[in-house]
Amino acid sequence: MELPTNPSGSRSRRRIIKTLGLGLTLANLPAFVSAGMTEIDQDTLDHGERLIPVTEKDLNAIEQFIEDCLAANRESDPQQAVQEVLARGVSDHKAMLKAVGDPIEAGLKVFLRSKDLTIFAASWTPQMNLMPHNHKMWANIGIYTGREDNILWERRKGSLEAKEARCLFPGDVAALHTNAIHSVTNPLPKFTGGIHIYGGDFFATERSQWDPETLLEEPSNGDRIREMFEKANRQWHKLNNG
């Protein structure tokens, strides 16, 4: 099974770009995207996430998926509707892996950014951990390779208390509500990759993170998150290159 594609190709891209003119922007795309559209720049990210460039081939492979997510986000229950699109997309996780590409480093490959919707592929190196954090918007996560272990937390007297754990395997989808707090681990000796979809502009939202040892809340720190990604990649390259 292949991911759904639109045989009209360039017409489909024009429809996406026309939609972008209503306030949506695609990040790091090739030259056919208007220069007037806002792009995500690594140096201007408030939260320090590491970006992986998106190519025209990447966009072509999932453009119908993006259009389906945009349409679903206009439904009366956008999270549920987008979750259904995502579930279909990762149900054939091998096709999604082929479309998005094998993860080879920790980072985010951003396909869509807008005030209403953000879509990116996130990749975690083997044994990579992400501290407890929130999103302040709903989120749907679908895994297409590897495994992602989630701990869901609740606020308790200025700290956090672990309430639930869930392991996501290829083809699994998780829905997080607006106030959700979770931490993430890749427990495998291989990369994990997932499609993450958020009901807002993920990169323009002030968020919190919690110290993994003390569980004290602090503003999401771009330098610390950037170092976390860079450290994970350094460790992976060192392990594989001696």
88-134, pLDDT tens digit by residue?
999 999 999 999 999 999 999 999 999 999 999 999 999 999 999 99
Evaluated on CA atoms 198, 202, 205, 209, the torsion sign reads positive
Per-residue pLDDT tens for 46-56? 455 678 888 88
Reported as a single tens digit per residue, the pLDDT across 170-224 is 999 999 999 999 999 999 999 999 999 999 999 889 999 999 999 999 998 777 8
According to the model, what pLDDT value does residue 238 have? 87
Please tell me the pTM assigned to this model: 0.85
* Multiple choice CATH, 10-241, 3.40.50.2300, 1.10.220.10, 2.60.120.10, 3.90.650.10: 2.60.120.10
